[in-house]
Structure 1
Amino acid sequence: MPAPERIPSRGLTDTELLTLLAEGRLTVLGQVRGASNAVLHCTVAYEGEERTCVYKPVAGEQPLWDFPDGTLAQREVAAYEVSEATGWGLVPPTVLRDGPYGQGMCQLWIETPGGGTEPSLLALVESEEPGEGWKAVGFAEVGEGRTALLVHADDPRLRRLAVLDAVINNGDRKGGHLLPAPGGRLYGIDHGVTFNADDKLRTLLWGWAGEPLTSEAVEALGLLAAELAPGAALATRLAELITRAEVEALRGRVAGLRTAGRHPEPSGAWPAIPWPPV
């Protein structure tokens, strides 16, 4: 299965980037506004190398009634570990470490052309059909009694993320969590509300719901299933980050996707689209 290109890192390997994030000196530059939890924009420096990063201290997390165990930071790291096991590299390098405000998640900052989501990834169209190259999500109110069809691109990068979200049970895949990077890479961020043992999947990427999985997705799920076997490296690592019940539920979701061979559909037991969607 061909893997996407790695993050442009000015000579640093992925292992070196993880070491930099875990061992480097964190310097807080400021706070990212608009987030429900503390999100700090930082630099991290180690042995002459420096990068920008996001640091989310556990002390700045707001309690969630439906995620009473562990921390959001641990779930962010678990999402990175699972993404790496698929071979797709969909989540920026992420570690759990101590920082100026205690333990938290530290993730490589991804510079995005234009500073946000590509306009070609999400759109509202005044039509009942998505049009060529687009997949329909659903209708949304746009004011003055009018509705528009929310669509996303029929893009293999988004399709990989849709599979990852189904695996990790992502409860909050918004448009603002899609980061296009130089070189055509696309990353997903903000994975704090993931891995719940109950169905919590809420995403904007429902366009492939019910459709057969691609062959590369089937292969990636096979790799992931092997890594989740009891005693395997990923299973051991995840046991340090999420609960035993959540690891078992993760195995069950992977097995269910492999058996069904299709993208999941909204269950109807939980709102299918996050709010606000962006």
Structure 2
Amino acid sequence: MNQALISQHMPLSGKHALVTGGARGIGAACAQALLLRGARVTLAGRDAQALAAAQASMSTACPPGAEIATQVLDVADEDSVRAGFAASAERFGRIDILINNAGQAAAAPFGKTDAALWQRMLDVNLTGTFHCAQAALPAMLEAKWGRIVNVASTAGLTGYRYATAYTAAKHGVVGLTRALALEVATKGVTVNAVCPGYTDTDIVRDAVANIVAKTGRGEEEARAELAAGNPQKRLVQSEEVANAVVWLCLAESAAMNGQSIAVAGGEVM
């Protein structure tokens, strides 16, 4: 394949992308999409067994020669992030693309949101994004090229009842995205966020189970309740989020900076 065809069909060839929370859901879909566009991909997360299973699955689905590795780390732990990122860079070269996808969601009325739940939502969703961006950014600045995409939520653009801590954390991710994007705007690095609505992932399946347990409604009724906020009356698919993420990583998307793009069927405009 000549260079022009490689550039067209594998526009991220030679780039190293690290995806946190890469073993399942949106993270796995992002990793797969990046691999198909030629990137070397590191799947990062806390569960070594889940990462290995995702790696094996992706290896069979990708073209021969696709480079994929795993890295166990905890985004809420700064030392773990720095050690994990250093090991990944030693394996595949500097991290050119960082997808901050690791996150947790927990629902509780405000009066029942204790300090531990509040802190856990901040640690994983917001502080984890901070740690990872700090670890990856110096090499991007040195190379004068980089892409950071933070997976936030429509909860970062509007309010979600019974999810105060999660919503506050995701608003923080949107704010971090905007502030950092301005800092690096002249450095060849872009920082953006995608904000999915309710997406058909483990987090939403847990939410459905929670609704069923607390209300006695059927599973389909619970799923319909979550989908009702989407004008298309459906759950978003992980691959749809991944398409937006990968587009932001392309060289041709260099003018996209500081944006928080809702992938939600029109839920937020």
The answer to whether TM tops 0.5 is no
Q: TM-score, normalised by structure 1?
A: 0.24
Q: TM-score, normalised by structure 2?
A: 0.25
User: Comparing both structures, which one devotes a greater share of its residues to strand?
Assistant: 1
User: Comparing both structures, which one devotes a greater share of its residues to helix?
Assistant: 2
